[in-house]
C-alpha cells in the first residue's frame, strides 16, 4: 500500500514526497531494483547555467559525463536508489535550468522538494556570488525545512580556482548548509554528495515518522497505521502501487 503524507516541522511543515509503507514492485524483473523502494525523495539541483548541474545528475544516476553538454531547456529529472539503514531510498533528482528566462518555469518545481543541491563553479566567482540569490529564491519557494547542500563543482580545475574553499565553507556554516566540492568530470565526491544529503533527509524523516507512529490510528479494515496530519498539512491520500 502506498501512503502519501506530510509530517509537520514547525509552521510550514516538513514535506517528504510519497513515502511508502510497503514496497512498490514493478512489472518486470529487469526494473525490480529501481522499482522497489521505501521512500521517494524529490531533490532539486539549482544554480547558474554552466556550473555542471546536468553532469552531476548524469554522473550520479548513470555514471556518465558529457563534455559537450548543452544548457538544460526547462526541467528534466532522473532517478536512482540507494540503501540507508536497510531502507531503499529512491531519489528523484530534478535538474532546474539556471538561465534567467527559464526561472519562472523551474520555480514551480521547488514545491514538494525535500532536498536541494545549490551548485556553483569554483572557477567562476560570479556563479558563487549568485548563490545568495539562488538561496533566497529557494527559501521563498520551498519548504522552510528543506535540506540544502552547497556544492562547489569542477574541482578538477582547482588550478583555475576563483572561489576559495574557506570562503565557501564559512558561507555554508553561516547559512546552515552542508558543503562539499565535487568534480563531475573526475567523479570526485559526486557519490558522497548525494549519499550525504539523502541520508540527512532520511534521518530527519525517519525520526519524525517514528515519533508520529506512536500516536498513529488504525485505518478501517486495513490494519495499516495512518500518521495523523497537523492542521496545516494537506489531506492524506492513498493511491494504487506505483501511481503518480
pLDDT over 90 at 24, yes or no: no
CB 168 within 8 A of CB 152: yes
Interval 184-242: pLDDT, tens: 999 999 999 999 999 999 999 988 877 766 655 444 443 322 222 233 333 323 333 33
From 102-106, 114-118, 190-194, the region with the lowest mean pLDDT: 102-106
Between CA 164 and CA 150 the distance in angstroms is 14
Please tell me the predicted confidence (pLDDT) of residue 109: 75
DSSP string covering 108-140: GGGTT-SEEEEEEETT-HHHHHTHHHHHHHHHH
Q: What is the mean pLDDT of residues 16-41?
A: 53
Beta-strand pair 237-239/2-4: antiparallel
Helices 190-213, 53-62: crossing angle, 10 deg rounding: 80
Q: What Rg do the C-alpha atoms of the chain give, in angstroms? A: 19
Interval 41-66: pLDDT, tens: 999 999 999 999 999 999 999 999 98
Question: In the structure grid, which three cell numbers stand for residue 17, read together?
Answer: 514526497
Interval 64-89: pLDDT, tens: 998 876 776 667 889 999 999 999 99
Between CA 236 and CA 3 the distance in angstroms is 8
CATH of 34-211, one of 3.30.360.10, 3.40.1380.10, 3.40.50.300, 3.40.309.10: 3.40.50.300
Band of the pLDDT at 156, cuts 50, 70, 90? Answer: very high
Question: In the structure grid, which three cell numbers stand for residue 148, read together?
Answer: 540544502
Decide which of 118 and 19 is more confident: 118
Between CA 134 and CA 131 the distance in angstroms is 5
Spell out the domain ranges in the chain.
34-211
Amino acid at each position: 500500500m502506498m501512503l502519501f503524507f506530510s509530517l509537520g516541522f514547525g509552521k510550514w511543515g516538513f514535506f517528504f514526497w510519497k513515502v511508502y509503507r510497503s514496497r512498490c514492485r514493478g512489472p518486470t524483473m529487469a526494473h525490480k531494483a529501481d522499482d522497489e523502494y521505501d521512500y521517494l525523495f524529490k531533490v532539486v539541483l539549482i544554480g547558474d547555467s554552466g556550473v555542471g548541474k546536468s553532469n552531476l545528475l548524469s554522473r550520479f544516476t548513470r555514471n556518465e559525463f558529457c563534455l559537450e553538454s548543452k544548457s538544460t531547456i526547462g526541467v528534466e529529472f532522473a532517478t536512482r536508489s540507494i540503501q540507508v539503514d536497510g531502507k531503499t531510498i529512491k531519489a528523484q533528482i530534478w535538474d532546474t535550468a539556471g538561465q534567467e528566462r527559464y526561472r519562472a518555469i523551474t520555480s514551480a518545481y521547488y514545491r514538494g522538494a525535500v532536498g536541494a543541491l545549490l551548485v556553483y563553479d569554483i572557477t567562476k566567482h560570479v556563479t558563487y556570488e549568485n548563490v545568495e540569490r539562488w538561496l533566497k529564491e529557494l527559501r521563498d519557494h520551498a519548504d522552510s525545512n528543506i535540506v540544502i547542500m552547497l556544492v562547489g563543482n569542477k574541482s578538477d580545475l582547482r588550478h583555475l580556482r576563483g572561489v576559495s574553499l574557506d570562503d565557501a565553507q564559512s558561507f555554508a556554516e553561516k547559512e546552515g548548509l552542508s558543503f562539499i566540492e565535487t568534480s563531475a568530470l573526475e567523479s570526485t565526491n559526486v557519490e558522497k554528495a548525494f549519499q550525504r544529503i539523502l541520508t540527512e533527509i532520511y534521518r530527519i524523516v525517519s525520526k519524525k515518522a517514528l515519533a508520529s507512529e506512536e500516536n498513529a490510528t488504525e485505518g478501517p479494515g486495513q490494519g495499516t497505521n495512518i500518521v495523523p496530519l497537523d492542521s496545516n498539512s494537506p489531506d492524506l491520500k492513498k493511491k494504487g502501487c506505483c501511481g503518480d
